[in-house]
């Protein structure tokens, strides 16, 4: 190496960087730079030249110039500033690491939704932004764009308030996001779809169709084409769904170690979805569900002589566990054959819940049986629940008869009926003949 180049390596140089001056030199084989807040002017270069000469002299004497810059060379007119802090990863870069971490921690279906939502909708729009630069206006812009594409409010809400919020929540824990980027986010009013249960007649016909139906089995050696035979596990599966309140994924996840036929109980410990076993959907979904004697009889009929605790209860014609999405094709075929308005497999649960409410079961028992909390039952199945308003209004008759249209001496209650406001047998005048005057008595709307 020439003496000229060797001397340059022991010097300190002034450079312009983003409009400001900085010092650059090599020390112990590494490139070192120190930025300043001084614009590139002749006056500032002259001020910094003295510091650069001192650094060069220290390097030549093999003394630490970095310590000198940090402790000594900080005149007010040539303040050396530290490099700008790194802003952190972009949304897309952070997502790639986050999804790998989340995959083993969540249900398979949820991990799939994360990928679909974030890769399909979020990253194309805000993936290039730094996480630290993410602002509430960026989230509102994403929301507006997705809503204008024709996506339903529920879908957009799942994307932003579900998947994106989960990722940003982890970024906050990693101290990469320091603000609430969802602040001020508002949603259009959305009404969830109502339950769509089958009628009693439709239910009976569908169950009977699976009892008599024939299904294709794999081709056997020496046979021509597929063999069409009845498949009792399909019949038992549909009967259980209609008469237990279990979700299709929960029924598909049953193993014989979960079934107590002697006591007529099944223990829900897992679910099956996307060709894999997962934990139950919610904490309350892990439960023991009672079975009707007819369901027990059907289960006993399909139980093989030698089963292991981990043997699936319900199998397809190929011997693998029933996959709810695949089984739906048989379920739709049954409805087409019976000329029944098509509904999804989950409507079997709606049918059980509404039937149970019409039968007058206790809500606490229904919570345990279905694994659905009371507030959710009230939200989705409220119109099937027993109404108590009419019976409670009777208590006001003891205080003011005119509330029920009674006039002086008219529709007088029998003796002893108006004993107090808390009397359980408070009298209510008959509705006949009351339309001509006063208020009509409250009526319970038909279910």
The predicted pLDDT at position 435 comes to: 36
Of 422, 347, 339, 413, the residue nearest 380 (C-alpha): 347
pLDDT confidence bin for 238, thresholds 50/70/90: very high
pTM: 0.60
**Contact status, residue 245 vs residue 352, Cβ threshold 8 Å:** yes
- E strands within 104-252? 215-217, 227-229
Statement: 91-173 belongs to CATH 1.10.150: yes
* Mean pLDDT across 200-219: 93
Which pairing describes strands 287-290 and 265-268: parallel, antiparallel, or unpaired?
antiparallel
Choice between 247 and 69, residue whose per-residue pLDDT is larger = 247
Q: Give the integer Cα–Cα distance in Å for 394 and 379.
A: 27
pLDDT for position 46: 84
State the DSSP code for 412.
Answer: P
Q: What pLDDT score does 388 carry?
A: 59
The per-residue pLDDT for 207 is 96
pLDDT mean over 192-202 = 90
Neighbouring CB atoms inside 10 A of 414's CB total 8
Contact yes or no for 427/397 (Cβ under 8 A): yes
- The per-residue pLDDT for range 10-34, each reduced to its tens digit, is 688 888 877 788 888 888 888 888 8
pLDDT of residue 231: 95
Contacts with 312 (C-beta within 8 Å, 6 or more apart), sequence order: 254, 255, 256, 320, 321, 322
What pLDDT sits at residue 350?
A: 94
Residue 307 has pLDDT above 70, yes or no: yes
**Rounded mean pLDDT, 289-297:** 94
Interval 354-413: pLDDT, tens: 999 988 899 999 999 999 998 889 888 888 887 655 567 777 877 877 777 755 444 444
3-class SS at 394? Answer: helix
Is the pLDDT assigned to residue 312 strictly greater than 80? yes
Contacts of 116 (CB under 8 A, 6+ apart): none
> Given this model, what pLDDT does residue 137 score?
92
β-sheet bridge partners, residue 33: 24
Average pLDDT, the chain: 82
Domain topology for 200-383? hpI Integrase; Chain A (1.10.443)
- Give residue 81's pLDDT: 53
Which region among 160-169, 175-184, 215-224 has the lowest average model confidence (pLDDT)?
215-224
pLDDT greater than 60 at residue 169: yes
When pLDDT is cut at 50, 70 and 90, the band that residue 422 belongs to is: very low
Residues 39 and 415: their CA atoms lie apart, in Å, by 102
Check residues 41 and 152 and name the one with the higher pLDDT: 152
What is the average per-residue pLDDT within 79-95?
72
Beta-strand (E) ranges in 128-243?
215-217, 227-229
44-61 confidence digits (pLDDT tens): 888 888 888 888 888 888
How far, in Å, CA of 45 to CA of 60, rounded?
A: 22
- pLDDT tops 60 at residue 230: yes
Q: What are phi and psi of 328, to 5 degrees?
A: -55, -30
Q: What is the pLDDT of residue 51?
A: 86
The whole-number pLDDT of residue 9 equals: 53
Spatial separation of the C-alpha atoms in residues 374 and 354, rounded to whole Å: 14
Q: What residue ranges do the domains of the chain occupy?
A: 3-81, 91-173, 200-383, 387-447
Q: What is the mean pLDDT of residues 197-203?
A: 95
């Amino acid at each position: 190496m020439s003496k000229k180049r060797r001397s340059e390596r022991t010097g300190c140089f002034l450079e312009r960087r983003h409009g400001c001056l900085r010092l650059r030199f090599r020390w112990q084989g590494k490139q070192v730079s120190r930025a300043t807040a001084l614009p590139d002017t002749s006056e500032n270069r002259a001020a910094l030249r003295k510091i650069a000469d001192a650094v060069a002299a220290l390097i030549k004497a093999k003394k630490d110039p970095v310590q000198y810059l940090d402790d000594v060379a900080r005149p007010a007119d040539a303040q050396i500033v530290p490099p700008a802090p790194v802003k952190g990863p972009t949304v897309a870069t952070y997502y790639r690491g986050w999804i790998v971490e989340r995959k083993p921690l969540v249900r398979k279906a949820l991990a799939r939704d994360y990928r679909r939502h974030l890769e399909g909708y979020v990253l194309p729009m805000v993936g290039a932004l730094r996480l630290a630069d993410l602002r509430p206006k960026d989230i509102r812009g994403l929301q507006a764009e997705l809503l204008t594409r024709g996506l339903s409010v529920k879908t957009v809400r799942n994307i932003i308030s579900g998947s994106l919020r989960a990722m940003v929540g982890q970024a906050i824990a990693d101290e990469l996001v320091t603000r609430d980027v969802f602040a001020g986010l508002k949603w259009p009013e959305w009404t969830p779809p109502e339950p769509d249960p089958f009628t009693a007649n439709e239910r009976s016909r569908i169950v009977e169709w699976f009892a008599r139906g024939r299904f294709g089995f794999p081709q056997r050696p020496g046979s021509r084409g597929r063999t069409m035979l009845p498949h009792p596990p399909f019949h038992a599966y549909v009967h259980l769904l209609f008469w237990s309140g279990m979700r299709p994924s929960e029924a598909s996840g049953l193993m014989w170690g979960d079934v107590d036929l002697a006591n007529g109980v099944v223990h829900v410990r897992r679910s099956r979805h996307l060709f894999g076993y997962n934990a139950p959907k919610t904490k309350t979904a892990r439960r023991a569900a009672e079975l009707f004697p007819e369901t027990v009889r059907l289960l006993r009929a399909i139980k093989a002589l030698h089963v292991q605790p981990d043997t699936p209860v319900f199998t397809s014609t190929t011997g693998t566990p029933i996959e709810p999405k695949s089984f739906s094709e048989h379920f739709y075929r049954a409805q087409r054959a019976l000329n029944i308005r098509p509904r999804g497999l989950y409507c079997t649960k709606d049918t059980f819940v509404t039937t149970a409410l019409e039968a007058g079961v206790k809500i606490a028992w229904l919570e345990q049986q279905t694994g659905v909390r009371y507030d959710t039952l009230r939200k989705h199945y409220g119109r099937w629940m027993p109404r108590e308003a009419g019976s409670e209004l009777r208590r006001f008759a003891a205080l003011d008869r005119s509330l029920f249209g009674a006039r002086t001496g008219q529709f007088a209650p029998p003796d002893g009926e108006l004993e107090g406001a808390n009397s359980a047998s408070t009298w209510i005048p008959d509705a006949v003949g009351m339309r001509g005057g006063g208020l009509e008595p409250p009526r319970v709307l038909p279910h």
